[in-house]
Structure 1
Amino acid sequence: MREFSLPALYEVPADGNLTDLIHRNAAQHPDTAVLGRRVEGGWRDVTATEFLAEVRAAAKGLIASGVRPGDRVGLISRTRYEWVQLDFAIWSAGAVTVPVYETSSPEQVQWILGDSGAVAVIVESEAHAAAVESVRADLPELRHVWRLDAAGVDQLVAAGAGVADAAVDQATSAAGADDVATIVYTSGTTGRPKGCVLTHRNFFAECGNVVERLKPLFRTGECSVLLFLPAAHVFGRLVEVASVLAPIRIGCVPDIKNLTEELASFRPTLILGVPRVFEKVYNTARAKAQADGKGAIFDKAAATAIAYSRALSTPQGPSLALRLKHLVFDKLVYGKLRAVLGGRCEAAISGGAPLGERLGHFYRGIGFTVLEGYGLTETCAATAFNPYDRQKIGTVGQPLPGSVVRIADDGEVLIHGEHVFAGYWKNDKATAEALADGWFHTGDIGTLDEDGYLAITGRKKEILVTAGGKNVAPAVIEDRIRGHALVAECMVVGDGRPFVGALVTLDEEFLARWAADRGRPAGVTAAVLREDPELLAEVQKAVDDGNAAVSKAESVRKFRVLAHQFTEEAGHITPSLKLKRNVVAKDFADEIEAIYGA
């Protein structure tokens, strides 16, 4: 058993709640822009004073509508300004926010709103309202539905026009540090989602220590962050609350379809994302270079960036020749890549899945550091992350200050600290299993090095055991295979089988480019190309790269390219892009059998 801890850098308030932050900001930074609001053709700054007023106006509407301290209020929307406003408005009414992914099915909506006992819900669109309406008969406690794209906020403000300030103050002060701030339902790779109860204290401990440890990235009046993660995900809430706590300016965009344009217009100094975003930026830049006849130059520049970053971790540092080559490519390639990220971006924080050493070194090598972290809904997002001044690529960093990470005898990662959730909503059995002896049992397998840096090697429940008795951690291979531009998803199989295999899906955007470059018909699909020898050879390169990270007994011997991608709608992935392995295995049983056929 091994464990590591760091002293707390932030003193969690003995009492009070997260609304204290917006009152403090209005008092200490009244004219500072704390949010950016997307308007036609650009961004409009919202000062700390303006934000407090808009939050309280919406909170009055909730109070006037009968929302009382402790009540649960659902929030179904894409990431947008109103999400942050309404989250704090719900807290200002003394209530509890219950986020619901905007992609959730009516059945999921019914379960989350019903299980939490939500008395009201704020939705973004007509489709969301229809989903709620279709299950409303099964939600006896639900009394109100407001719709953002139908002037829902204006309706709330109008409803609360007659509510006195004193009534808001009373409701706002009702919640203490140990009261529930939000119930975040895990997306659930198996079974029904469980509601993780996170308190105001959890968020103070989490966000306060993240901001203090990464202080240079959270400079008030100078720094800004663009949030494009789903706000319903706990990682998105970390961005929201940490930005308000710092405070720094935060902008919200609903998706990453036009991410390059959004980065260029908002020009953040910090972004937070999942590895797939950083893979896309890299693969898009490489594909564009190849289309312009500059693929060889890009590949040399990428190799130089990786070599330069690796050299930074050595005692002697980069050689003179490497520094000169790096300087040349900085002018030819790296500067343009940094411009794609908005031109002001200093760093990024990546979570949700392993980033991979190759990408980590590439980004650091071009002058843009991606700090990898690790966390779960139950740990209020990040429970470990790389410090900006002591990054160790290939790990998820050191423990959150004020917490302890322990590696149990069986390799499981255990967590202790004020940021760890209070338990699962109305589920004592699951709570007792997860919070045994005061430690949260993550279900992840990992290691701690001598400096306290954590590396995650797999999930306990996802460890495959081949017919030969070899234990295989799928994540190690899958993450490497997914790094190839053509690969959208990969699932390693082989439990009880004679060897390890894999199911691979293709990225539609890069498949189209690959096909066009090789003279295939326009619009050709994965279903048509899945047996194409040239395409299979390209996917084999990705598999070979994955195999390079493991022993021969753990390597993928055969794979199948699937005709379609894994989708959330089909139940193959969760909203946070985690594979539902049991569903994939069931739906693609024939493909798996084909791997192990003759």
Structure 2
Amino acid sequence: MDVRTLCDIPRQLLADYRSSRQLLYKEDGAWKAIPTQDLCERIRHLTLGLLAIGVGPGDRVALIAQNGPEWTATDYAILSAGAVTVPIHPDLPQDQVESILVRSSASVAVVAGRERLEGIRGAAGRLPALREIVAIDPVEGGRERARSLHEVARAGARADGVDPGAYERAAAAVTPDDLAGILYTSGTTGDPKGVMLTHANLVHNMKACCAAVPFVSSDLCLSFLPLAHAYERLVEFCYLYRGATIAYAESLQAVPQNLREVRPTIACGVPRLFERFYRRILETGDSLRSPGRHVFFWAIATARRRAVLKWSNRQASALLKIGWRAADRLVYARLRARFGGRLRFFISGGEPLQREIAELFNGMGITILEGYGLTEASPVVSLNRPDFVCFGSAGKPLDGLEVRLAEDGEIQARGPSVMKGYHDNPEGTRAAVREGWLLTGDLGRWDGHGCLVVTGRRSETFTTTAGKAVAPQPIEGLLREDRFIAQAVVIGEGRPFLAALIVPDFDRLRSYAARKGVAARETGALLRHPLIAALFERHLARVNDRLERALRIEAFRVLEREFRIEEGELTPTLRCRRGAIERRHAGLIEGIYAAGKAGAATARGPLAGS
């Protein structure tokens, strides 16, 4: 059947892809299945239940929950009622949640978790448009201003019995030009804007992605990125459009275990997660004794050589082929088993992926398809294809999208996926979309294969007092290549030299310290230990050797804790929010620059900041 709006996807599932396990979730230690019929019946009843409590065409309904079957069913129900989903990441600070609810004029909030529910209840007086609060979890006491999602579904079931055609009429009344979502951009800098995406925007992007990537009904897809973000939400539309099974990870922390349990064929991630996987692979080799350690790292080098030759259309030597097969038996098969052993491919988005990581994974038999996009483009703009991977690039533009580079290298896109505009922000819309071209604010170039290489973000590029323009992202990527560094932020706007705030991989660092007999128990004491400090000094020296003099890091600090979404320091896709981080560590930063270059040797030491 022809899918014109997102409301058509459940009908297509029933018509073409019935499965006994359309969705999978883990409860009480066991994976449980939801058949297609049950999912579509839940969507049907929730749609009619929302209509029964007064939700109508164009109404904004906020959805604040972790990934899971209820998120998916509720999203489709909101859309099928003709309303507009306003996804909100459940870990955002309360003030940001309230701001989105006010800005979007949300009339209904569907909420998971007792703490978040109480927060919305307590804020009700500050949310003039909010009429209803619906709790996904059972409501225990204090039922005023909240009803349960179960009640809404029961009311919908009763309505279905009275008027069996009501759901079909509601879904059929939705048109491609109707709004399907207002998504507030996470934004690494500046104030989030409400991106308005229509059914036509999202359906075009979904179909173009499915034309580029062969999702099939036999796929089992692990979902762990937040569905509140445009990336994972669009990917889920793709999965169900092709009839694939979706398994919801218990949490980001549980992803490694869930990969082994579910054994997916497809999963979507962000570079931060692939960096973690990469560091764990290297840690495996480090933990071995010779000759096993030498064999392991020989296999890693062999994987990279094979990947580079394969995707540059050069023939591997007979010796390399023999070596790869031996490495596959000794090393790669065991590493692939960590990811379930059945992966056809990963997809990576959110920001550029380090080339070394892509080469290693591809070389050991796990393809990573890197792409590029932004919420305003629904969100995918370009994507590597399974039959042609350009390492270090985001692939070629999707069918139906035009992409060009401005004189300053800004990436611009035009086509059916480009947003309708920013909610209640005509000035912002005029600045972002000109003559149909979306001005992304991202910088890029074309490689020799016609693939898009994203080089940075214009709003994050800064100038030092010496007049040097600095794109910090590539330098931060070099810093994160070290297995002991989890996060890094380069600073130096309006300053005489560059410095870095570094967050270590604490688990790996403590493991290393234990092997070396470092007895420090407190994090601060561990980071100040000379042996640990030397690790970061050596890596910084290696990074600086790869940079021109004006881009070298002259000072750094190692922090005592990770950046967090709930503190406003990370976006939902784990990108660092530079402004928030610099404000939080303003005192530490001032201390670095107060020492000046003359005191760089002292300033470089990893004096831990909170």
Q: Check whether TM > 0.5.
A: yes
Q: Tell me if the contact between 1:42 and 1:265 (Cα under 8 Å) persists in the aligned partners.
A: no
**Alignment partners' CA distance in 2, 1:202 and 1:22:** 18
5+ unaligned residues in a row in structure 2: which ranges?
A: 140-147, 600-610
Question: Which has the larger displacement, 418-427 or 291-300?
Answer: 291-300
Match of 2:474 in 1: 476
Q: Tell me if the contact between 1:227 and 1:239 (Cα under 8 Å) persists in the aligned partners.
A: no
Residue 327 to residue 541, structure 1, CA distance change in 2 (3 Å): farther
Residue 165 of structure 2 aligns to a residue in which SS?
helix
5+ unaligned residues in a row in structure 1: which ranges?
A: 1-10
Question: Is the counterpart of residue 49 in structure 1 residue 37 in structure 2?
Answer: yes
Match of 2:152 in 1: 156
Match of 1:282 in 2: 278
Match of 1:242 in 2: 238
Question: Is the counterpart of residue 97 in structure 1 residue 94 in structure 2?
Answer: no
Match of 2:356 in 1: 358
How many residues get paired?
582
**Alignment partners' CA distance in 2, 1:193 and 1:580:** 12
Q: 2:261 aligns with which of 258, 262, 265?
A: 265
TM-score normalized with structure 1 length? 0.93
Q: Tell me if the contact between 1:12 and 1:208 (Cα under 8 Å) persists in the aligned partners.
A: no
Match of 1:557 in 2: 554
Residue 502 to residue 288, structure 1, CA distance change in 2 (3 Å): same
The root-mean-square deviation of aligned C-alpha atoms, in Å, is: 2.0
Match of 1:4 in 2: none
Question: Which has the larger displacement, 172-181 or 32-41?
Answer: 32-41
Q: Tell me if the contact between 2:422 and 2:429 (Cα under 8 Å) persists in the aligned partners.
A: yes
- Residue-by-residue CA offset, 1:359-394 (whole Å, 9 max, x unaligned): 010000100001111111111122111111110000
Residue 443 of structure 1 aligns to a residue in which SS?
strand
Q: How does 1:119-518 map to 2 (within 5 A)?
A: 119-150=107-138, 152-163=148-159, 164-215=163-214, 218-220=215-217, 222-293=218-289, 294-518=292-516
Q: Tell me if the contact between 1:399 and 1:452 (Cα under 8 Å) persists in the aligned partners.
A: no
TM-score normalized with structure 2 length? 0.91
Match of 2:142 in 1: none
The structural deviation recorded for 1:549 is 5.1
Question: Is the counterpart of residue 536 in structure 1 residue 524 in structure 2?
Answer: no
**Alignment partners' CA distance in 2, 1:571 and 1:32:** 40
Residue 467 of structure 2 aligns to a residue in which SS?
coil
- More RCO (CA 8 Å, sep 6+): 1
Question: Which has the larger displacement, 308-317 or 428-437?
Answer: 308-317
- Residue-by-residue CA offset, 1:264-307 (whole Å, 9 max, x unaligned): 22211011001121222222233244335344433222122112
Residue 150 of structure 1 aligns to a residue in which SS?
coil
Residue 426 of structure 1 aligns to a residue in which SS?
coil
The structural deviation recorded for 1:541 is 4.1
Q: 2:563 aligns with which of 551, 563, 566?
A: 566
Q: Tell me if the contact between 1:225 and 1:251 (Cα under 8 Å) persists in the aligned partners.
A: yes
Letter in 2 for 1:67: V
Residue 314 to residue 425, structure 1, CA distance change in 2 (3 Å): closer
Percentage of matched positions with identical amino acids: 35
Residue 58 to residue 290, structure 1, CA distance change in 2 (3 Å): same
Question: Which has the larger displacement, 509-518 or 128-137?
Answer: 509-518
Match of 2:94 in 1: 106
The structural deviation recorded for 1:129 is 0.1
Question: Which has the larger displacement, 44-53 or 69-78?
Answer: 44-53
**Alignment partners' CA distance in 2, 1:56 and 1:545:** 58
The structural deviation recorded for 1:260 is 2.2
**Alignment partners' CA distance in 2, 1:561 and 1:267:** 37
Q: Tell me if the contact between 1:55 and 1:86 (Cα under 8 Å) persists in the aligned partners.
A: yes
Q: Tell me if the contact between 2:250 and 2:258 (Cα under 8 Å) persists in the aligned partners.
A: no
Residue 414 to residue 234, structure 1, CA distance change in 2 (3 Å): same
